[in-house]
Amino acid sequence: MSQQGKKAVDDPVALLLEDYKTMKDVPDELIGPEGNIRPVWSSLIAALSKMSHEEITLRKARGDQYLRDAGVFYRQYGTQDAAERDWPLSHMPVLIDEEEWNKISAGLSQRAELLEQVVADIYGDNQLVAKGHLPASLVANNPEWLRPLVGVKPHSDHFLHFVAFDIGRGPNGEWWVIGDRTQAPSGAGFALENRIATTRVYADHYARSNVFRLAGFFRTFRDALLALRENDDSRVGILTPGPMNDTYFEHAYIARYLGFMLLEGEDLAVRNGQLMVRTVAGLRPVSVLWRRLDAIWADPLELDESSRLGTAGLLGAVRSGNVTMVNALGTGILETRALMAFLPRICKALTGQPLAIPNIATWWCGQPKERQYVKENAQRMTIGNAFATRPLFDLDDVSAVAGTFNRDIKQTIESWIDHGADHLVGQEAVTLSTTPAFDGDKLVPRPMNLRVFLARTADGWQVMPGGFARIGPSSDSAALALQRGGSVADVWVVSKNPVPTETMLGAAKGPFTRQQPGVLPSRSADNLFWLGRYVERAEHTIRLLRAYHIRLAESGSELTPLLEYLGEFLESMDTEVAEGLPNSVINTLASASNAAGHVRDRFSVDGWLALDDLSKTVRGMSKTATPGDDMARAMSVLLRKLSGFSGLVHENMYRFTSWRFLSIGRSLERAMSLTNLLSAFTDATAPDGSLDMAIEVADSSMTHRRRYAVATNRDTVVDLLALDPLNPRAIFYQLNDISGHINFLPGADQNRQLTPLQRTILQAHTSLELHTPSSLDITALNSLSGELASLSDHLSAAYLR
């Protein structure tokens, strides 16, 4: 845009918008039809225009810093490793005027209500098909029509509780619905993160602008979910497909934010029609499940039998009316692209009203007239799978865009349509409005669409005042998918008047909502236990490796008897010493990351980042470190990073059941390592220097010097590393710790009989206590090792299954 009269250099706004060239016949969010900045944007643009290059850079960096610190990522499919990608924030929010937003809200609420009626009919008596409003084939051949749920009425009386719509502004300036997201819409959590990051960028300005806050929407929805429960004892859970899903971060984030359990299918079980979660305290009822898992995977018994993500019997629980699914299983059928061809008529038939916000024009090729029309107008359409439920811009299937196939197809479009008519749909190609995005310091117009979220509450549908905007990487509307280089922006709904500030805590009016008492799912406990074990195992191996390579450097690469002995010991732990960094260390840390990945909702972001940093360092070293001094130094670096991680976790973790399982894992692994270390290096046949090395590996050289006035001998070493109750590097100390934790675990009531687990720990503890350094010989150490292993088994049997 160029403003008349003033020279660009004199006018900071003109300078900022120097490259902002809106396109002919494409509406723009920032610049109105007369070429002026729309009022809703003026103060933000004015504020931006006064910032220097350095300030803008600094501000953007602040937003990015937040996202990095919070660990926001999404997973990209299709690449080799389904890697985690940084969150592509566009630092420029999309601004929408409150009045316009109210119209959008009303239109989308109407659509949500319409979809509720449609899905109730599709799973009910199918009047829409009987009366000819919907072709039978679109229902019967639809993979999202779940036959086992036909005729099953949802316990809450509603199929839909949380939906999203993708909308865009078309050439005439009006909004269009381009996608219905009813199965398990994602993005609400990302909208929150976008908001926080964007307010870091515009901290001062945001506080002064009348931008509607998002927290109230989430609070209302949380309360609505809590109200759907059977009673106060049953729980609300969020069902996730797990860490390999592209939006797992969001599932963990939302679970933390709302205070609900994050569950995987394996966490759940069905008993007599009641859905239960396996916890360390036994099975506990769950009566509301906000699912982020597509329905088809939800129950391997009645739906896709190959699913490893679901829960056998879940459909039975749904039929028994003991669980409310948000949204009901089967609602994915509403996302079917071809349904858009029929919704305008269905809306009139069911409500007597037209759609307040139309959806993009759609023609199903299963009807002769429509098929002909699509063939004749292929040039201005996107033609693709009628049953697709993916957003319009994800051209996953074979599609024809403006008359050209997106794959190499040896067929004319006409014959392609004739051969697969029932399975094809034509949709008018849409050019979407543009909105400002940064290109360096300058703003440029980019196409965008919005995802808007709606939640059902006692007072009807509530619309999140804001949302999630996708911004295209170029001026082409067709490239809006996040997976192909677009970015995302916050959406500000701006009022002319001051807006209420909202927080998740809500005002103290009326009855307060009690936080649900925490229960730890067994799978989470299992992952925490193993996280503790793997990290400790890695540390122990690294200490042994350091001891090896220090001695190797000192001996000038000659293999002394001690080096040979230590080398064999390491090999017995599957750790090869001949080359640089052994795979066992890399694998152990990878297992730790994997375990941590499953409990991301219970785990500090800093701890996660520290673990991530550790894995990166290890991968770097595996290529470079050479035996001897170099490896010894590398191992010291790793040890420092490991203690950084352990410190973060153990200093910051709330002292509750989660922390206890993590700690038991660490203590048990350490006790086992020490037992094996002593058994090998205090043996009479062990080479010279073994005792000093054992003390060094157990990081107790200084203590030994202070505690004993003599040089190391077998008795002092065994005393310090096995029997000392005050040395954290002694077996006895670790057994004390484990025993303390176990007494606080569910079911360990002091007034009842000892559990098998308590009995085992008591036995190990007592027998060790009665030992003297000389009686704790190799045989005794080996039997202790067996007791520790059975401790792990008992713990698994009692809590982790």
Partner 1 sequence: MLYDIKLKITYKYDNDADVSRHIVRLVPADLPGEQRLVAGTLTIRPKPDEWINRVDFFGNKNVELAFLNLHREITFSVQARIERMDIISFLDMSPRLSNLASEIAGYQGVGSWAPHHFVGPSLRVPIDKSTTEYARNIIKDDTSVLDAIKAIGSALYRDMRYDPEATTVETPMLEAFKCRHGVCQDFSHIMIACLRGIGIPAGYVSGFLRTIPPPGKTRLEGADAMHAWVRAWCGSNMGWIEFDPTNDMLTGTDHVVIARGRDYSDVAPIKGVMRTHGEHTSKQAVDVIPIKQ
- The answer to the question of residue 272 lying near partner 1 (CB under 8 A) is yes
Decide whether 148 or 773 has the Cβ nearer to partner 1.
148
Q: How many alpha carbons fall within 13 Å on the CB side of residue 687?
A: 12
**If we measure between CA atoms, which residue out of 620, 588, 36, 710 comes closest to residue 695?**
710
Q: Between 660 and 699, how does the x/- string for binding to partner 1 read (CB under 8 A)?
A: ----------------------------------------
As measured in angstroms, the least distance from the Cβ of 500 to partner 1 is: 48
- Min. distance of Cβ 315 from partner 1 in angstroms? 9
CA distance 355 to 685: 87
With CB under 8 A, what is the number of residues at the site for partner 1? 28
What residues are paired with 279 via a beta bridge? 282, 521
Measured from the CB of residue 742, what is the shortest distance to partner 1 in angstroms? 23
Question: Which one, 131 or 616, has the nearer CB to partner 1?
Answer: 131
- The span from the CA of 357 to the CA of 103, in Å, is 9
Nearest distance, CB of residue 129 and partner 1, angstroms: 5
Span near partner 1 by CB under 8 A; candidates 82-90, 221-229, 271-279, 637-645: 271-279
Q: Does 300 bind partner 1 (CB under 8 A)?
A: yes
Count CA atoms within 13 Å of residue 172 on its CB side: 5
Region from 253-261, 300-308, 344-352, 642-650 binding partner 1, contact rule CB under 8 A: 300-308
126 binds partner 1 (CB under 8 A): yes
Sign of the alpha-carbon torsion through 5, 7, 11, 15: positive
Dihedral of alpha carbons 439, 445, 449, 454, sign? positive
Q: Does 271 bind partner 1 (CB under 8 A)?
A: yes
**CB nearer to partner 1: pick between 262 and 315:** 315
Kindly list the distances between the CA atom of residue 761 and the CA atoms of 470, 531, 668, 732, 737, in Å, as whole numbers in the listed order. 56, 21, 11, 11, 11
Determine which residue in the list 3, 49, 117, 141 makes contact with partner 1, applying CB under 8 A.
141
CA 301 to centroid of chain Cα atoms: 26
Residue pair 276/270 in contact (Cβ under 8 Å)? The answer is yes
| Cβ(760)–Cβ(739) below 8 Å | no
Q: Strand locations in 292-369, DSSP E? A: 324-326, 362-364
Contact between 137 and partner 1 by CB under 8 A: the answer reads yes
Residue number with CB closer to partner 1 (146 or 784) = 146
Shortest distance in whole angstroms from residue 367 CB to partner 1: 9
Q: Which stretch binds partner 1 (CB under 8 A): 108-116, 123-131, 688-696, 758-766?
A: 123-131
User: CB 419 → partner 1: shortest distance, Å?
Assistant: 11
Task: Pick the closer one to partner 1 by CB: 110 or 389.
Answer: 389
With contacts defined by CB under 8 A, name the span among 94-102, 228-236, 284-292, 299-307 that binds partner 1.
299-307
Residue 473 in tokens: 């990487």
> Number of helices (H) and strands (E), helices first, in the chain?
26, 21
Q: Which sign, positive or negative, has the C-alpha torsion 592, 595, 597, 601?
A: negative
Q: Which residue, 140 or 754, is less far from partner 1 as judged by CB?
A: 140
Residues in 495-554 that interact with partner 1 by CB under 8 A: none
Q: In this chain, which of 23, 58, 82, 140 binds partner 1, going by CB under 8 A? A: 140
- Residue (315 or 781) nearer to partner 1, CB: 315
**Do 280 and 657 meet the contact criterion of CB atoms below 8 Å apart?**
yes
Shortest Å distance, C-beta 233 to partner 1: 22
Name the residue nearer to partner 1 (CB basis): 312 or 401.
312
Interface stretch with partner 1, choices 6-14, 57-65, 295-303, 397-405 (CB under 8 A): 295-303
**Virtual CA dihedral for 427, 431, 433, 434, nearest 10 degrees?**
130
Min separation Cβ 115 and partner 1, Å: 18
Cβ partners under 8 Å of residue 475, min gap 6:
23, 434, 445, 446, 447
CB-nearer residue toward partner 1: 131 or 619: 131
Based on the shown chain and the rule CB under 8 A, indicate whether residue 796 belongs to the binding site for partner 1: no
Within residues 304-323, the interface with partner 1 by CB under 8 A covers 305, 312-313, 316, 319
137 vs 604, which CB is nearer to partner 1? 137
136 contacts partner 1 (rule: CB under 8 A)? yes
Q: The dihedral of CA 714, 720, 725, 730: what is its sign?
A: negative
CB of 132 to partner 1, least distance (A): 6
- Quick note: the x/- pattern for partner 1 over 231-270, rule CB under 8 A, is --------------------------------------xx
Q: Candidates 56, 120, 129, 605: give the one binding partner 1 (CB under 8 A).
A: 129
Cβ–Cβ < 8 Å for 695, 711? no
Structure tokens at 671: 């006790």
Region of residue 173 (phi > 0: left; psi between -120 and 50: alpha; otherwise: beta)? left
Nearest CB to partner 1, comparing residues 306 and 501: 306
Q: Is the Cβ of residue 331 or residue 673 nearer to partner 1 in the bound state?
A: 331
Find the part of the chain contacting partner 1 (CB under 8 A) among 146-154, 174-182, 430-438, 486-494.
Answer: 146-154
- Secondary structure of residue 412 in the 3-state scheme: coil
Q: What sections of 228-283 are H helices per DSSP?
A: 248-258
| CB of 469 closer than 8 Å to CB of 124 | no
Nearer to partner 1, 269 or 662 (CB): 269
Least distance to partner 1 from the beta carbon of 130, Å?
6
Q: Which of 96, 114, 139, 167 binds partner 1 (CB under 8 A)?
A: 139
Cβ distance to partner 1 smaller for residue 411 or 713? 411
Segment contacting partner 1 by CB under 8 A, of 42-50, 157-165, 301-309, 597-605: 301-309
Give the chain's length.
Answer: 801
Cα–Cα dist 476/751, whole Å: 71
Distance of closest approach, residue 188 Cβ to partner 1, in angstroms: 32
Q: What angle do CA 443, 448, 449 make, to 5 degrees?
A: 155
102 to each of 96, 492, 495, 603, 759, how far by Cα in Å?
10, 13, 11, 39, 65
CB 29, min distance to partner 1, A = 43
> Contacts with partner 1 in 186-215 (CB under 8 A)?
none
Q: How far is the CB of 159 from partner 1 (least distance, A)?
A: 17
Task: Identify which of residues 133 and 633 has a Cβ nearer to partner 1 in the complex.
Answer: 133
Residues with Cβ < 8 Å from 54, sequence gap 6 or more? none
Contacts of 335 (CB under 8 A, 6+ apart): 144, 179, 180, 181, 182, 183, 389
Q: Which two tokens stand for residue 305?
A: 């039998």
User: What are 42's two structure tokens?
Assistant: 């003026």
CA dist 234 and 226 (Å) reads: 9
Q: Are 678 and 722 within 8 A, CB to CB? A: yes
CB of 291 to partner 1, least distance (A): 19
CA distance 391 to 185: 11
Using CB under 8 A, which of 148, 580, 756, 773 touches partner 1?
148
Q: Which is nearer to partner 1, 127 or 572 (CB)?
A: 127
Among 130, 203, 244, 789, binds partner 1 (CB under 8 A): 130
Q: b/e string for 91-114 if b means 16 or more Cβ within 10 A?
A: bbbbbbbbeebeebbebbbbbbbb
Which residues of the shown chain bind partner 1 in the complex (CB under 8 A)?
Answer: 126, 129-132, 135-137, 139-141, 147-148, 150, 269-273, 300-302, 305, 312-313, 316, 319, 801
